[in-house]
Structure 1
Amino acid sequence: MAVLEKIRSKTVFLIAIIGLALFAFIISDFIGKGRFSNHTPNEIGSVNGEEVPIDAFRQQVENATRQANGQVSSIEAAKYVWEQNVQQILLNQQIEKLGLSVEKDQILAILAKTPLAQNPQFVNEYGVFDANKFTNYLATLKNTNPQAYAQWKMQEEAIIEDAKQRMYFSLIRAGLGVTNTEAEMEYHQEKDLADISYVALQYSSIDDKSVKVTDSEIQDYIKKHEKQFKQEAYRNIQYIVVSEKPSQTDIETEKESLLKLLQPEVVFNSKTNKNDTIAGFAKTKNIKDFVDRHSDVPYDSTFVNKDNLRSSYADTLFNLPVGKVFGPYQEDGSLKLSRMIAKQPGGAVKASHILIAYAGSQAATPNTTRTKEEAKAKAEELLAQAKVAGADFAQLARENSEEPGAVYSAGDLGFFSKGAMVKPFEEFAFNNAVGTIGLVETDFGFHVVKVTDKAEAVNIATISRKVDPSEATINSLFSKVTNFEMKAAQNPKEFANVAKKSELSVLRADNLHKNDDQIIGLGSNRSIVQWLFQKDTKIGDIKKFTSGGNYIVAQLVKQGEEGISSVQDAAPMVKPILIREKKAVILKEKAKGNSLEAIASANKTEVKSAANLIMKNPTIIGEGREPKVVGAAFGLKQGQLSKPIDGENAVYVIQLTSATVAPALDNYKTYAETVEKLRTDRAAQGILKSLESTATIKENLSAFY
């Protein structure tokens, strides 16, 4: 029954990175829930005709959202899960085409490497996983508990899927080998050098306005590069936002309420049948009860130094005399009233430390093997080094402390008050003079501690109240938004003018896609995106939304459908390319000549030089990245003049002045490994992209999320 409980509760499917960082199923323990529930006719989409059932998909989205602790929206989780499903299906389809299979002995070999292999029920007298015992257990389980056996079969399918995918990626890796010639080429691209003289005729020397580009030329460019201009359906909007913020009247009303707390309050005492006078905030002796009763934030009795007084009014607050009150003042969306309760000279200490942990201490990591005695000995050694005149305590901490982040903080803990540190550490810091260095033992390990400064600390009581908009303010804001919406709807073309007259700013959000959730300036607003892609939403339509305490009135101003970009949409990208091409034609004519000097003279420029050019990083200092130019340099003979080259930033004519070929190596193994890793990385990124680009994929996320 113990194993049966594991079947029911312990093991879960995990989505993991398989092989070359691609998604696949793996198991983390033994038996558990499967990824897919029963197939239903409803589908979220399909991949090459294979449907993705909606019920199972929804469960996966819920799991993904839960694992993200609610930090992602449903549509973001759905997009993530959809992509995993697409990748999974495409991989499985390829595996099926190749006819890859996994046999029983392979499954058992995989299980032998899981925690299951440590289960006493399935090990022999030598403590080794016994496949026969496990097989017999499954045979018994099939007869005694068909439901648990069915769950195991689902896990078995996952193991088989995982193994097939590993085989698939192994086949791919086998085809990514690097020849010695390729490795040698990589070496020379990195080590060979070229020096050149050159003339550069900058594209910027010709005014863009003087170069004409027609719509037909843009259209021709799009046709030649259609893959680059495939687009999703998109929508552009303009909108106004009105936030439910408190008015100045609301703020003044709350200020008056806070000021009343400074005055004594007369209340009826039912026990004595008389009126009692209760001291106000300025005079009350029962600070904690008073603050807790009147503040959104409870009383904090901690003493803090000025550095830790987190307020834009820190100087004013820290310098308040004891008993004096400051405020009301506005900060972080709240109104505050603060009173100096007490001051404590030396109440804050600044210290640095070097922490040495040992096995069993609270600061130990799984890799910590040092004994307590060894830790103490090392700490005493560091203590001796720290006490040497002129010793750099910060550097000792960077090199030796086992506190996370010590390499950056150099062991500096900053200022802290009593109660912030464990008792032994606190006592040493507060009971010793500045400059004292000593050894302290705590549950975290051994600390070499240096007291670096002491400062006055203060305790300030603060009544803090968040200022919310009043009902009158909310009604006024709602009326303002509603009036704007009505006027804009009457004349949609005047949206911006109506907003201006209403003293509202118009904002834009472009290129919104049907599965988007985030809108620039608005954050998560899925409802707006869904409205934009409804069939009956047309250009010019206006609608009001509420989101996160904001009223939003949005208008659809432009839309584009899935397909190839229009001339209008592609122009911002294509026009600069065509302008540069036309400039290159003009400048190439100007770059004709028998020598660099003649070309430079004709164009009123100068001959420049560039040294130590390499193929691997084709950059010319002063010009920028120029792969065509650097590549051409390595194809010239010494002294040879190139033809005009249309580079990234200019048209160049170059002359090779010298070339240095790196000496041959005995072997090029290091370079072969570099090329192979590069190919592997590219394959990991490119395999699924390639499969997706040729697949027939239909997705319908926006209908469900």
Structure 2
Amino acid sequence: MAILEKIRNRTVFLIVIIGLALFAFVISDVISSRGGGMNHPTEIGKVNGKEISTESFRFQVENLLRSVGGNATTMQAVNRVWDENVRNIVLNQQFEKLGLSVEKDQILSVLSKNQAIAQNPEFQNEFGVFDASKFVNYIAMLKSSNPALYEQWRMQEEGIVEMAKQQTYFNLIRSGLGVTQAEAEMAYHQENDKADIKYVTLQYSSIADSTINVSDKDIKAYIKKHEKEFEREAYRNIQYVVVNETASEQDKQAIKDELVALLQPSIVYNSKTKSNDTISGFAKTNRVADFVAKNSQLPYDSLFVGKSQLPVAFADTLFALPKGAIYGPYEDAGYYKISRMIDKQANGSVEASHILIAYQGSQAANPNTSLTKEQAKAKAEELLAKAKVKGADFAALAKENSDDPSASIRGGDLGFFQRGMMVKPFEDFAFSNPIGYMGVVETDFGFHVIKITNKAEAVKLATIAQKIEASDATTNELFTKVTRFEMDANEDVKNFGAVASKSELSVLRADNLNANDEYIIGLGNNRQIVQWAFTKDTKVGEIKRFQTPTGYVVAQLTKKAEKGISTTEEAAPFVKPILIRQKKAELLAEKMKGASLEEIASANKTQVQSANALTMNNPIIIGVGREPKVVGTAFGLKSGQVSKPIEGENGVYVVEVSSTQPATALSEYKAFAQSIENLRTGRASQEVYNALLKASDIEDNRSSIY
């Protein structure tokens, strides 16, 4: 009460302060937009000195977002367009150095392999073969008659040229990746030579990690020796609390009460008749569709539905309701609902399977579709005859022949459907024929071989629904809570967690955020927080409140790390286990000195063990695990020779070769040469590009603009 009294007494003062704060905010924003604060570069980036225009980049991002139709976030589109631009520049710079170009005949060669173009009758000769001259004439006509379409083709042509250059470039590289006879022979022996060994091992696990001392000096020395491995991009760490605007128990009860009240008649004053009218409630109204439209946040569905289409948790109860009966309120998918059984329909739900045969010009046709309408019909009737044979496997026929993409997974099974869900010819056939009946039906998609597999009852339900959401009172209360927390946290920035605990809020962490990230663990996509964390003026310890679609986030920046080499603290979790193992290996190796395995085993109170039929390609010691260094060393020893201590993956080993069984020499090693060549050429493109990318000088300004 004392606080409220002070606020009342200082109302005018607060208004002035708030006004000044808003003025300062507006002025700072104006200054920032004129060059203060963050400097926004004029280009999105540079690759080896070549600029990527921001304007062009934005255009590409917008085009991509339109083409994917909401299936990607802005940052996903930005990152994809960025990768494409960088790749094109890096590779084109190589093409220019080599003098690579693409001639007209190469473009036409690529087009001839494009099914959508090559199989278009407009570009074929009288024999049905792609005619390049017809296509060239078509493009010339477009240039004069349809400039917009011509511009689309020009952009497509640029893509074809780019693809052709890349094919030529990578083919040149692959042509230099041949395999020598010696390499093929070596591969054969690595796979087939065998060795039997005896060994003594002391496992790393025999020494407790806690007994090994690894100092910061050790870690720094390791980092210095392996600097390339510890290069990292700039990152930020944050901690934050989330306050979601969720409905309270009182809010939920109020929503349910409001729904229940709709079941009963209501009295409404009629201004025309100057009297009260009684409006039927949901339980008795004859104008169900109008009632739902007026009183529900979800639309009325006039279709009959099968049991499988009802909410799983309530399907049995809802499906069993007699006509006119009411069920609810019940909670489903974020809504409170009350449902009323309107009607039931015997055999109102049909289960069927189909085999779709598309033809040229049908809606299901694709570039590979070659059948005419007559041929498709004949094929469908042929498949119908096969399906009718006793014992025929309809699903197998669908998988082998159907042009429905889902056939390979579901074997043509469409599940249950109701009227209004299929095109009319298909629907009429399915609902007018008995279970087990098969036939051919034509639709705009092609010819369907249909088999009716089951029928079931369908129901029509009317449902009134209200979304479960926080009331204004709850929203105001939550806003007050988050604002109070933000103020308290700003007064004690070093104890963000303790302040959160007092406010009964949980603190979450998000570490290693990169400049172009948008996903934050526990929050999902929230680009604005990442941008704030990377803004030059945001200081470590700074706290800021953000509004989200579901409530509020109060975040604190806990660490700023710029691009460079990892610090000792950052690298320790990765380096310490390596150094511990190395120090253990040194200690264990000191214990493994002796003239024979038996002497070493006796000194360490262990036993000599054996491993047989080891190969270089599969260096696994049964009972121990993968040990490539140990097996590799064994193949370099002579029979009876004892090795020095070997630092393996699981422990330190001393081995003695009992015997070796070299594989029989072959007259030729073509199969092994081909296998190596396939492996090399298969990964050549990506590995070459990765090497070029690593060697490139790239300036990335995405985070300053998006």
Shift of 1:337: 0.8
The letter of the residue matching 1:677 is: N
Q: What is the CA–CA distance in structure 2 between the aligned matches of 1:314 and 1:488, rounded to whole Å?
A: 48
Deviations 1:483-513 (A, max 9, x none): 0011010011111011001010000000012
The letter of the residue matching 1:445 is: F
Deviations 1:551-575 (A, max 9, x none): 1111111222211111001001100
Q: Which residue of 1 aligns with 2:12?
A: none
Once the two structures are overlaid, the 10-residue window that deviates more, 112-121 or 680-689, is 112-121
Deviations 1:627-659 (A, max 9, x none): 223323433445554433222223234444554
| 8 Å CA contact 2:350, 2:456 repeated in 1 | yes
Q: What is the CA–CA distance in structure 1 between the aligned matches of 2:56 and 2:448, rounded to whole Å?
A: 53
Instruction: Rate the CA distance shift 1:603–1:282 in 2: closer, same or farther, 3 A.
Output: farther
Q: What is the CA–CA distance in structure 2 between the aligned matches of 1:55 and 1:357, rounded to whole Å?
A: 44
Q: Which residue of 1 aligns with 2:54?
A: 54
Deviations 1:230-276 (A, max 9, x none): 11111111000111222222222211110111101223445655433
| 8 Å CA contact 1:203, 1:583 repeated in 2 | yes
Shift of 1:282: 1.5
Instruction: Rate the CA distance shift 1:610–1:49 in 2: closer, same or farther, 3 A.
Output: same
Shift of 1:97: 3.5
Q: Which residue of 1 aligns with 2:81?
A: 81
Deviations 1:123-157 (A, max 9, x none): 9xx996569x98xx89xx99x99999999999998
1:293 aligns with 2:294: yes
Q: What is the CA–CA distance in structure 2 between the aligned matches of 1:540 and 1:456, rounded to whole Å?
A: 64
Of all paired residues, the percent bearing the same amino acid is: 54
Q: What is the CA–CA distance in structure 2 between the aligned matches of 1:355 and 1:129, rounded to whole Å?
A: 33
1:90 aligns with 2:87: no
Instruction: Rate the CA distance shift 1:145–1:510 in 2: closer, same or farther, 3 A.
Output: closer
Q: What is the CA–CA distance in structure 2 between the aligned matches of 1:122 and 1:454, rounded to whole Å?
A: 48
Shift of 1:229: 0.4
Q: What is the CA–CA distance in structure 2 between the aligned matches of 1:342 and 1:393, rounded to whole Å?
A: 34
The letter of the residue matching 1:574 is: V
Q: Which residue of 2 aligns with 1:643?
A: 644
Classify the secondary structure of the residue corresponding to 1:284: coil
Once the two structures are overlaid, the 10-residue window that deviates more, 210-219 or 538-547, is 538-547
| 8 Å CA contact 1:425, 1:440 repeated in 2 | no
Q: Which residue of 2 aligns with 1:625?
A: 626
| 8 Å CA contact 1:424, 1:440 repeated in 2 | no
Q: Which residue of 2 aligns with 1:173?
A: 174
Q: Which residue of 1 aligns with 2:474?
A: 473
Q: Which runs of 5+ in 1 are unaligned?
A: 1-40
- After superposition, where does 1:300-311 map in structure 2 within 5 Å? 300-311=301-312
Instruction: Rate the CA distance shift 1:652–1:310 in 2: closer, same or farther, 3 A.
Output: farther
Q: Which residue of 2 aligns with 1:373?
A: 378
Q: Which residue of 2 aligns with 1:25?
A: none
| 8 Å CA contact 1:357, 1:445 repeated in 2 | yes
| 8 Å CA contact 1:233, 1:513 repeated in 2 | yes
Q: Which residue of 1 aligns with 2:449?
A: 447
Shift of 1:520: 1.5
| 8 Å CA contact 1:195, 1:656 repeated in 2 | yes
The letter of the residue matching 1:49 is: G
Q: What is the CA–CA distance in structure 1 between the aligned matches of 2:91 and 2:225, rounded to whole Å?
A: 32
| 8 Å CA contact 2:434, 2:452 repeated in 1 | no
Q: Which residue of 2 aligns with 1:536?
A: 537
Q: What is the CA–CA distance in structure 1 between the aligned matches of 2:704 and 2:659, rounded to whole Å?
A: 65
Shift of 1:475: 1.3
Shift of 1:685: 2.1
Shift of 1:223: 0.4
Once the two structures are overlaid, the 10-residue window that deviates more, 494-503 or 323-332, is 323-332
Instruction: Rate the CA distance shift 1:442–1:109 in 2: closer, same or farther, 3 A.
Output: closer
Once the two structures are overlaid, the 10-residue window that deviates more, 265-274 or 208-217, is 265-274
| 8 Å CA contact 2:110, 2:164 repeated in 1 | no
TM-score (norm: length of structure 1): 0.81
Q: Which residue of 2 aligns with 1:695?
A: 696
| 8 Å CA contact 1:379, 1:446 repeated in 2 | no
Shift of 1:464: 1.4
Q: Which residue of 2 aligns with 1:110?
A: 107
Q: Which residue of 1 aligns with 2:236?
A: 235
Classify the secondary structure of the residue corresponding to 1:312: helix
Q: What is the CA–CA distance in structure 1 between the aligned matches of 2:160 and 2:64, rounded to whole Å?
A: 21
Classify the secondary structure of the residue corresponding to 1:540: coil
| 8 Å CA contact 2:47, 2:699 repeated in 1 | yes
Q: What is the CA–CA distance in structure 2 between the aligned matches of 1:528 and 1:170, rounded to whole Å?
A: 45
Instruction: Rate the CA distance shift 1:642–1:522 in 2: closer, same or farther, 3 A.
Output: same
Q: What is the CA–CA distance in structure 2 between the aligned matches of 1:121 and 1:449, rounded to whole Å?
A: 39
The letter of the residue matching 2:69 is: N
Q: Which residue of 1 aligns with 2:679?
A: 678
Classify the secondary structure of the residue corresponding to 2:552: strand
Classify the secondary structure of the residue corresponding to 2:44: strand
Deviations 1:12-65 (A, max 9, x none): xxxxxxxxxxxxxxxxxxxxxxxxxxxxx9333323333333333333333333
- RMSD of the TM alignment (CA)? 4.1
| 8 Å CA contact 1:615, 1:631 repeated in 2 | yes
Instruction: Rate the CA distance shift 1:594–1:423 in 2: closer, same or farther, 3 A.
Output: farther
Shift of 1:217: 0.3
| 8 Å CA contact 1:350, 1:454 repeated in 2 | yes
Q: What is the CA–CA distance in structure 2 between the aligned matches of 1:92 and 1:234, rounded to whole Å?
A: 31
| 8 Å CA contact 1:236, 1:556 repeated in 2 | yes
Once the two structures are overlaid, the 10-residue window that deviates more, 644-653 or 614-623, is 614-623
Shift of 1:419: 4.1
Once the two structures are overlaid, the 10-residue window that deviates more, 328-337 or 311-320, is 311-320
- After superposition, where does 1:416-431 map in structure 2 within 5 Å? 416-421=417-422
Once the two structures are overlaid, the 10-residue window that deviates more, 52-61 or 251-260, is 52-61
The letter of the residue matching 1:576 is: P
Q: Which residue of 1 aligns with 2:551?
A: 550
- After superposition, where does 1:126-141 map in structure 2 within 5 Å? none
Instruction: Rate the CA distance shift 1:440–1:593 in 2: closer, same or farther, 3 A.
Output: farther
| 8 Å CA contact 1:383, 1:439 repeated in 2 | no
Classify the secondary structure of the residue corresponding to 1:301: coil
- After superposition, where does 1:595-634 map in structure 2 within 5 Å? 599=600, 603=604, 609-634=610-635
Instruction: Rate the CA distance shift 1:221–1:343 in 2: closer, same or farther, 3 A.
Output: same
- After superposition, where does 1:207-606 map in structure 2 within 5 Å? 207-269=208-270, 273-353=274-354, 365=366, 366-367=368-369, 369=371, 370-384=375-389, 387-388=390-391, 394=395, 398=399, 403-421=404-422, 436=436, 438-443=438-443, 444-447=446-449, 449=451, 451=453, 453-593=454-594, 599=600, 603=604
| 8 Å CA contact 2:337, 2:463 repeated in 1 | yes
Instruction: Rate the CA distance shift 1:150–1:101 in 2: closer, same or farther, 3 A.
Output: farther
Instruction: Rate the CA distance shift 1:250–1:651 in 2: closer, same or farther, 3 A.
Output: same
The letter of the residue matching 1:379 is: L
TM-score (norm: length of structure 2): 0.81
Q: What is the CA–CA distance in structure 2 between the aligned matches of 1:200 and 1:367, rounded to whole Å?
A: 64
Once the two structures are overlaid, the 10-residue window that deviates more, 239-248 or 73-82, is 73-82
The letter of the residue matching 2:216 is: D
| 8 Å CA contact 2:107, 2:161 repeated in 1 | no
| 8 Å CA contact 2:349, 2:456 repeated in 1 | yes
Q: Which residue of 1 aligns with 2:8?
A: none
Shift of 1:317: 2.2
Q: What is the CA–CA distance in structure 2 between the aligned matches of 1:407 and 1:147, rounded to whole Å?
A: 40
Q: What is the CA–CA distance in structure 2 between the aligned matches of 1:673 and 1:58, rounded to whole Å?
A: 46
Q: What is the CA–CA distance in structure 1 between the aligned matches of 2:506 and 2:146, rounded to whole Å?
A: 67
Shift of 1:397: 5.0
Q: What is the CA–CA distance in structure 2 between the aligned matches of 1:429 and 1:68, rounded to whole Å?
A: 35
| 8 Å CA contact 1:383, 1:448 repeated in 2 | no
Q: What is the CA–CA distance in structure 2 between the aligned matches of 1:87 and 1:699, rounded to whole Å?
A: 14
Classify the secondary structure of the residue corresponding to 1:313: helix
